[in-house]
Amino acid sequence: LKSRILALKDHLVELRRHFHMYPEIGYDLERTSSFVARYLKDLGLEVKEHVAKTGVVAVLRGAKPGKTILLRADMDALPLQDLKQVSYKSRIDGAMHACGHDGHTAMLLVAAKLLCDVKERLSGNVKFVFQPCEEKFPPGGALPMIEQGVLENPTVDAAFGIHLWTLLPAGTIGIRAGTIMAAADEFHVNITGRGGHGAQPHLCKDPIVISSHLIQMLQTLISRETDPLDSAVITVGKIESGTAFNIIPETAHLEGTVRTLSEQTQKSIQLGMRRIVEGVEKAFDVKCELDYRVGPPPVVNDLEMTKLAQSVAELVVGKENVIEVEPSMGGEDMSFFLKKVPGVFCFVGASNPEKGIDKPHHSPYFDIDEDALLIGTQMHVEIALKFLGG
């Protein structure tokens, strides 16, 4: 298999660079999804388009009956200007594949091609799921695809997904049983005080001073109310208030994110945040509104599926290159698939400092070591073969 994938390397890189040059965002993946659907139809697969707007699903039926495994790739890019200088840089102004989803799409297409070649050996089915809108929740792409029946006909027994990962070097695979990525919630707070002259605070209710108290208090939900051995993050990423140095503004608006590794901690931080916001409202005699938007749950890997993926990973990159990673506080809506069926999500190392490829995800200079594409493709194929006993 390794040599067959190696023979397809140029093709794989060409596909990835095509998606890289023409990134699309959110649900607006017309060009990408029709390319994907065309490719899958040319392989002779049953293809369903427009699942959750631009999602694409294809089914490969093996020669013998058996279970069904779902392999998932996300296809969306980010609203970001590509600043790197390479021949395949984004041709679309303000859009960029800065998370590696171009690679995910390319790897799964080539995996589909390879699995089609060996369908005589398969007992059961492979369902290829190409998802839109992973980067923006709500509603994301996974949940609406599930609601539109992607786990039925044939019924899915297990799911597998990959994220190319520049926090790990190319040639390695990161995996762990249990929680591997965090729940990712979003919150907005509106404080309505009373504006006036900067020299007369006693006649005003200053929403900027109140915001600074609120931000400090929110951090105590982590430092004083969360088990130190558990992990959680509250980040206020945006504050909007004021127009000039000598004016106390009328309002302040805060936005941020909450990351947690268990649904229990997610719940307790949400409740704590509400309690603190209500307390600040009373303490400062202002109006303080919290809009808390629950995002995707933690990504939780099934134990048996993790063992299977681990053994496949050892085959692909060697035991010494399979790393038991700590959970990432990043979020991923792959979690919705893994809540419904046992499955596993893993990180395929994609950085290579020697080639100058070492930028974090979502950086305007983000790139991947394309050698990692071979590893991801092989993972998809081998997992399907092993799960279906091919």
Task: Considering only the stretches 50-58, 95-103, 107-115, 204-212, report the one whose residues sit in contact with Zn ion under the rule CB under 5 A.
Answer: 95-103
At its nearest, how many Å lie between Zn ion and the CB of residue 368?
A: 12
Alpha carbon 208 to its chain centroid, in Å, reads: 34
Q: With contact defined as beta carbons under 8 Å apart, do 65 and 40 qualify?
A: no
Q: How many CA atoms lie within 13 A of 114 on its CB side?
A: 29
Nearer of residues 99 and 316 to Zn ion, judged by Cβ: 99
Q: Which of 175, 152, 161, 223 is nearest to 319 (CA)?
A: 175
Distance CA 86, CA 24 (A): 19
Nearer of residues 12 and 99 to Zn ion, judged by Cβ: 99
Nearer of residues 215 and 325 to Zn ion, judged by Cβ: 325
On the question of a cis peptide bond just before residue 139, with omega within 30 degrees of 0, the verdict is: yes
At its nearest, how many Å lie between Zn ion and the CB of residue 99?
A: 3
**Nearest residue to Zn ion, using CB?**
99
Based on the shown chain and the rule CB under 5 A, indicate whether residue 106 belongs to the binding site for Zn ion: no
Q: Which entry of 76, 82, 206, 333 is annotated as an active-site residue? A: 76
The DSSP code for 349 is E
Q: Which of 62, 142, 130, 67 is nearest to 304 (CA)?
A: 67
Query: Does the active-site annotation cover 134?
Result: yes
Q: With contact defined as beta carbons under 8 Å apart, do 290 and 274 qualify?
A: yes
Q: How many CA atoms lie within 13 A of 134 on its CB side?
A: 28
Q: Determine which residue in the list 15, 25, 37, 99 makes contact with Zn ion, applying CB under 5 A.
A: 99
Based on the shown chain and the rule CB under 5 A, indicate whether residue 373 belongs to the binding site for Zn ion: no
Query: Does the active-site annotation cover 28?
Result: no
Task: Considering only the stretches 94-102, 123-131, 138-146, 340-348, report the one whose residues sit in contact with Zn ion under the rule CB under 5 A.
Answer: 94-102
Nearer of residues 99 and 182 to Zn ion, judged by Cβ: 99
Based on the shown chain and the rule CB under 5 A, indicate whether residue 108 belongs to the binding site for Zn ion: no
Distance CA 208, CA 263 (A): 32
Based on the shown chain and the rule CB under 5 A, indicate whether residue 322 belongs to the binding site for Zn ion: no
Residue numbers annotated as active site: 76, 134
| Residues of the shown chain interacting with Zn ion in the complex, contacts defined by CB under 5 A | 99
